[in-house]
Structure 1
Amino acid sequence: MILLSVNHLSKSFGGLKAVSAVNMELRMGELVGLIGPNGAGKTTVFNLLTGVYQPTEGDIALRRQSIVGLKPWQINQRGIARTFQNIRLFNNLTVLENVKIAYHQHASYGIASAILRLPGFYKGEDDMSQKGIELLKIFKLEHKKDELAKNLPYGEQRRLEIARAMAAQPQLLLLDEPAAGMNPQETAELMDMIRWVRQNFDMTILLIEHDMALVMGICERIYVLDYGQIIAEGTPAEIKSNRKVIEAYLGEDISHAHGS
């Protein structure tokens, strides 16, 4: 079943066409990569999918319903969550509070219950705390639940950001360079964690990444973007040997491509 369908998607900023006639499809449960050189338009695509930008042309359909024109929070409620290239956590909140914030859109109590501090409010908060701790266990962060997010090491901040995105209970998770700034061991652990999340949460994942070992190691299909256009789509093996893709990476063998 097709979860996300992107049809003829374009975005212009003044005279510059950042994304041009992009077509993509994501099936339920797939793990797909979106790669390309610097400035290719990858993060712009993510911003279009999440309502940060509105397209100049084209359509985006989630479960066959257009999400064009919706606000980011509305798209999040419909089942798309994301992480960012530059980590965006609530630095002065605890690890657990960061996760609970994402759970609040599914809170079982209403505004009146929260304002009046009725029993339903306390029960709902307890339930969210328990769910949050269970999620933090998956990401090996439960022992840090009371620490401020800003005090976590970089790799743990990355994991917390993914955990917070998962707390929104999405069907589609967009990961924007999740391995950026990680050392090889952290990257290997991240690969294992992404695989585990996908399998155990029946999650569809689209990731932007410059670490080709990670992309080739976990993605089933890969789209390649260059100058705002899709120049190739296929399996890791097909992409690795695609002449257009190799040329887009300045003549390098794509298995050694790098950059941000």
Structure 2
Amino acid sequence: MFQFSDQLLKQWQHALAEIAWQAGKAILDIYRNKAVINVSEKEDHSPVTEADIAAHRIIVSALAQLDPALPILSEESPAHDIEKRRQWQQFWLVDPLDGTRDFLRRNDEFTVNIALIERGKVVLSVVLAPALEEGYTARRGEQAWRFEPGRYRDSRLAIAARPWRSEHTLRIAESRSHGRGLPEAWLQRLPAHQCVAMGSSLKFCAIARGDADLYVRCGPTSEWDTAAAQFVLEQAGGAVNALEGTRLGAALDYNQRDTLINPSFVALAPGVRALFETCH
């Protein structure tokens, strides 16, 4: 198996930004122009909308043009593709519309997530929030960037997670749909903090750009929910680690287990790890 070259990743990074934006525009067309959005329910009782499906089709078609031989695993992929995925060492991991509940609530906090996986690790990713007109991207060996959809080359700005220090108020990102994540007993032992609710993978991106310090998720998520934004955060200087009881485990990896469900995890800015480990 060959390794993706740095030059190829650079070329594909620009292409991913455009692919995500094309999917984002299809999502926005439904979001802004349809008073009633068609919704159905999956086996796990999570919602899927016509926008999820439209974005999925655009992304899968465009990624296949980049490399027809490279497998694609999307949240909306058919079951037989999900079964075959354990054989793949390199593949695209896609959430065409992360934050479907936020999309249906029309709060603008939903994203398109695309990640390229190589041997269990992300090497290239893009996260795009079409309604907020902001995007994030990273590739192996390079810093993370923020960009404006449709203006990738002209609007890129480097981002970095803010190192947390004891004199800072700890800023905790929490899920709009699933709550705080941290047990109340831990919150009481943390220093001065404030909690801000956000949707989708934007919680990772808030840490990556320096606007939050910590995000904890103890409930189930799928690998396509986290891969792209985790890599943006890591390339911005932060980390995402499995949560093993009350201790931090290894960084999340991908396609390494029988299940596509992530363990509980913690996303954190530099400096937060030591603080977090004192609260077990």
TM (norm. structure 1) is: 0.26
Of Structure 1 and Structure 2, which has the larger fraction of its residues in helix? 1
Higher relative contact order (CA 8 A, sep 6+): 1
Rg comparison, structure with higher value: 1
